Structure 1
Amino acid sequence: MADATRYDLVLKGGRVICPASGVDGVRDVAVKAGKIAAVEEAILPSAAAEVVNVSGRLVLPGLIDTHGHVYQYVTGRFGLDPDMVGVRSGVTTVIDQGGPSCMTLPGFRKFIAEPSETNVLAFLSAYLVGGLEGHFYPNLYSPDCVDIEATVRSATANRDLVRGIKGHAEIGGFARWGIKVMEMAAEIARRAEVPLYVHFGQLWGLPESGKNGEDADTILERVIPLLKEGDVLAHPFTRHPGGFVNREGELHHVIQAALDRGLKVDVGHGSHFSYRLAKQALAAGVIPHTLGADMHGYNTQVPEIPVPLGTPEEHEDDENHPFKGQARFSLTQAMSSMMTLGIPLEEVVKMVTSHPAKMLQMEDTLGSLAVGRTADVSVLDDVRGRFVLRDNEDYRVIAERLLQPAFCLRAGKRIDADSPILPQAIAA
């Protein structure tokens, strides 16, 4: 009798894809006490207290979103509810990119990471102010607003939460201060022995190329020598100046050499994504290593997020802000984008499971359905048909497969994908 219910839950009959353990096929997945207890071709239904039929669905290690903005309220309109971006969107781990700083990390831990059902981690901002609304107040991101010693201490003392450092290599900052801030960010990451995640592509606007002799197309070649193996180049498919594709429409000549010496590429989808430029970069051989959705309150329509108190009136008009983009979005929609661009599903799954786990130096705890691991599992529908996807230039492509989250298990607990920001399928 005791053997009859030796599992709490069995997910039955789904296509299990787990690159970390080399599994790809129809399997049953059993969970016991919040851990993966078995992955087998067939598990008797009588062996579990609950059986969920997931035939026809994808069963993946819990998805990892490498680029989130979830420091709600503290980062103004940028910060979304972490569970709305995370478990309620079928994503079990979300990495906040640059929201908290060494000054604000205690609040991030207490009010975001600890109470969230989602597993929330952070890439600590190189700047003392963290991810405040820098497009309004760019002087907060000058070299005078970086404290190398304090940030290294914070990252080192909070390694359970801080898995990297976030910096920005963009023309607005370079035209104001040159490369100094990036040099400081690279030193922080080196001394803390964590990856540096670098934003490329214009972010804070004016001054643009030409100011103080700066040229957006030279930023990559000046920043990449500062970086170490495992550091991350973000937004390869950006439509903004300073990205992987230069103003002549060619892939920057330093990219391949950077990849050859162990630098990684993260999509950072969000407002900086262009299908047009993605096609060019992919054709030139740039295959992203990881995939972050990069959703925030400016590019994701969330009715309950008001314009923050204290925001200057001239910035209240959403039509004029620099991040205008998707109305509703999700990590699974970003996965669908990658597949539509010709990247096979099996490779896309690596971008949101085993690859980010390695980037985080957490491959022993995340990104796998190996027996004994925490039962973080994402269950997706793989919908076939013809669907319209669009980017922030309103360039449209036709997708024949659309991945949509059904539910996830976070440490064995089922949470349905009911987030209000999940996009609706648009038939072609």
Structure 2
Amino acid sequence: MSVTASFDLLLRGGRVICPASGIDGLKDVAIRNGKIAAVASDILPTSAKEVVDVSGKLVLPGLIDTHAHVYQYVSGRFGMNPDMVGVQSGVTTLVDQGGPSCMTLPGFRHFIAEASASRVYAFISAYLVGGLEGHFYPQLYSPDGVDIDATVKSATANLDLVRGIKAHAEIGGFARWGIRVIEMAAEIGKRADLPVYVHFGQLWGLPESGANGEDADTILTRVIPLLREGDILAHPFTRHPGGFVNREGEVHPVIQAALDRGLKVDVGHGSHFSYRLAKKAIAAGIIPTTLGADIHGYNTHVPAPAGTPDQHEDDENHPFAGQAKFSLVQAMSSMMALGLSLEQVVPMVTSNPAKMLGRSHEIGALKIGMDADVSVLSERNGRFVLKDNENNEVIAERLLQPAFCLRAGTRFDAVAPILPQAVAA
């Protein structure tokens, strides 16, 4: 170690891709005092106290998961441990979608955001109860369960944490209450001047298309006019009714018009994702803006600690029994298997979500002076089987896997028990 070392850490020899900086090439990344200090070719190894050889790996701005469920314990089985989904899976920033509400945000701040090594933001729920296990208590998700004034007040008083509003536009809610809840959520977003993230596609256990005369294929055309530039349409590739692809197998023409006026698209991968429908939408030119993993306890198996029984191994009431493991990096591989390039996918988990959050000055880039949030990924070539919740399979010829990440310069290895293992074709 040099006594004159000017950097704390040097990541040496990786392929650095930073869309926000226009960088894509073999570079070294130097860190000092938890901040990015230099990104350049051939930085002297003797200039750093510690050198990590990342040759053959991808070095990216810290990955941002735009669709997380990490209000652990409070949101029942939905809520995952934030650091398991975050830094232990190679992801430095999480956006909880609808877990906390104006009622429960203080607890989310104290027990989740402040207590986690991962950086955590929230799109608070339009509903007073937030992301409780709503399929058990649908009556809580009526217009009577929304308080516009209280939610606007909570959001605007906590803008360091709250970066948007979460709403649901799905056939169950429409069959019960019509469009009123979405109108209220749109009003919250407008008054708080925050983006509204709208779930499309049927939720389990709620009325199906046709109930009370409601048609899932009309939801998009009724909801989109309520939304503003910057609002987000989620689950474009859902296997459920009410998504971007109608029951005739065609992409709604209203989608392109929505994109043309500045609305955004988030994949929200998880249990709604269908390779079959994703292929149709991508072929129609629908390229997502951002990529969220949508990992929660109903679609991802968390192994029980050694010596303790697995409570959910044979739980017939588990809506997605049999699901295994997942990660945001696996979702990146999934998009590449559908024909998108690595260069198209990287902005979906770095610069684009940073813009969505209004935090491009803090995250999503490897710029000098910013917190050293860095994700290092391995890339394997071969033939690997990826499967969705319809049991459709695609073959990925390139598989990305997290190696480690830095969160403000502190290293976290990718050791999460939910990380999937490669399955060769």
Please name the residue that 2:95 is paired with.
95
Instruction: Give SS of 2:130's match.
Output: coil
For residue 400 of structure 1, report the CA deviation from its aligned partner.
Answer: 0.6
Q: Structure 1 residues 321 and 201, CA, compared in 2 at 3 Å: closer, same or farther?
A: farther
Structure 1 contact 70–99 (Cα < 8 Å) conserved:
yes
User: Per-residue deviation at 1:158?
Assistant: 0.4
Q: C-alpha deviations, 1:355-394, integer Å up to 9, x for none? A: 0000001111110001111000000001111110000011
Q: What per-residue deviation string (whole Å, max 9, x for no partner) do you get for residues 109-164 of structure 1?
A: 00000010000110000000000001111111000000000000000000000000
Distance in 2 between the 1:219 and 1:371 partners? Answer: 45
SS in structure 1 opposite 2:344? helix
Taking structure 1 as the reference length, the TM-score comes to 0.96
> How far has the Cα of 1:418 moved from its partner?
0.2
Native 8 Å contact 2:77 2:298 kept in 1 = yes
Match of 1:108 in 2: 108
| Alpha-carbon separation, structure 2, partners of 1:370 and 1:357 | 13
Q: 1:388 aligns with which of 380, 385, 388?
A: 385
Looking at structure 1, the residues matched to 48 and 254 of structure 2 have their Cα atoms a distance apart, in angstroms, of 54
Match of 1:208 in 2: 208
**Contact 2:330–2:401, Cα closer than 8 Å, also in 1:** yes
The share of aligned pairs that are identical, in percent, is 77
User: CA contact under 8 A between 1:173 and 1:204: conserved in structure 2?
Assistant: no
Partner of 1:155: 155
**Runs of 5+ unmatched residues, structure 2:** 306-311
Deviation at 1:206, TM superposition (A): 3.2
Q: State the partner residue of 2:71.
A: 71
Deviation at 1:347, TM superposition (A): 1.0
1:425 matched to 2:422? The reply is yes
CA distance in 1, matches of 2:283, 2:232: 20
Q: Which AA in structure 2 matches 1:336?
A: S
Amino acid corresponding to residue 247 of structure 1 in structure 2: R
Is 1:409 paired with 2:409?
A: no
The correspondence of residues 15-414 of structure 1 with structure 2, limited to 5 A, is 15-304=15-304, 318-324=315-321, 326-414=323-411
CA contact (8 A) 1:62 1:409 kept: yes
Q: How far is 1:303 from its partner?
A: 3.0
- Aligned residue number for residue 309 of structure 1: none
**After the TM superposition, which of the residue ranges 343-352 and 318-327 deviates more from structure 2?**
318-327
1:325 to partner: Cα distance:
6.6
CA distance in 2, matches of 1:87, 1:109: 18
Q: Deviations over 1:255-303 (max 9, x none)?
A: 1100000000000000000000000000011000000000000100013
8 A Cα contact 1:325 1:392, kept in partner: no
Q: CA RMSD in A?
A: 1.6
Distance 1:382 1:211, change over 3 A: same
Alpha-carbon distance in 1 for matches of 2:194, 2:321:
31
Q: What is the match of residue 311 of structure 1?
A: none
Using the TM superposition, give the Cα deviation of residue 210 of structure 1 relative to its aligned residue in structure 2, in angstroms: 1.4
- Please report how far the alpha carbon of residue 324 of structure 1 lies from its aligned counterpart in structure 2 after TM superposition: 4.8
Provide closer, same or farther for how the CA distance between residues 191 and 317 of structure 1 changes in structure 2, counting only shifts above 3 A: farther
Change (3 A) 1:189 1:325: farther
Aligned CA distance change for structure 1 residues 396 and 91 (closer, same or farther; 3 Å): same
Q: Describe the shift of the 1:27–1:195 C-alpha distance in structure 2 as closer, same or farther (beyond 3 A).
A: same
Contact 2:2 2:47 in 1 (8 A): no
Give the aligned partner of residue 6 of structure 1: 6
> What number of residue pairs does the alignment pair up?
420
Give the whole-Å Cα distance in 2 for the aligned partners of 1:46 and 1:319: 58
The CA distance in 2 between the partners of 1:72 and 1:186, in whole Å, is 27
Query: In structure 1, what residue type is equivalent to 2:217?
Result: D
Distance 1:29 1:207 in 2: 52
The one-letter code sitting in structure 1 at the alignment partner of 2:387 is R
SS at match of 1:121: strand
Paired residues of 1:236 and 1:267 also in contact (CA < 8 A): yes
Map Cα deviations across residues 32-82 of structure 1 (whole Å, 9 max, x no partner).
000000001011111000000000000000000000000000000000000
Equivalent AA in structure 1 for residue 45 of structure 2: P
Helix, strand or coil at the partner of 2:163: strand
Equivalent residue of 2:262, what SS?
A: coil
Runs of 4+ in structure 1 displaced over 3 angstroms? 315-326
Secondary structure, counterpart of 2:4 in structure 1 = helix
Check whether the contact 1:35–1:375 (CA below 8 A) recurs between aligned residues.
yes
- Structure 2 counterpart SS, 1:378: strand
Q: Structure 2: which amino acid aligns with 1:55?
A: S
Q: How far is the alpha carbon of 1:212 from its aligned partner?
A: 1.4
> How far apart are residue 318 of structure 1 and its match?
4.1
Distance in 2, matches of 1:371 and 1:278, equals 37
- 8 Å contact kept, 2:62–2:91: yes
Letter in 2 for 1:100: P
Structure 2 counterpart SS, 1:5: coil
Q: Distance in 1 between matches of 2:320 and 2:196?
A: 23
The 1:286–1:319 alpha-carbon spacing in structure 2 relative to 1, beyond 3 Å, is farther
Shift of 1:4: 2.6
CA contact (8 A) 1:237 1:244 kept: yes
Change beyond 3 A, Cα 1:118–1:165 = same
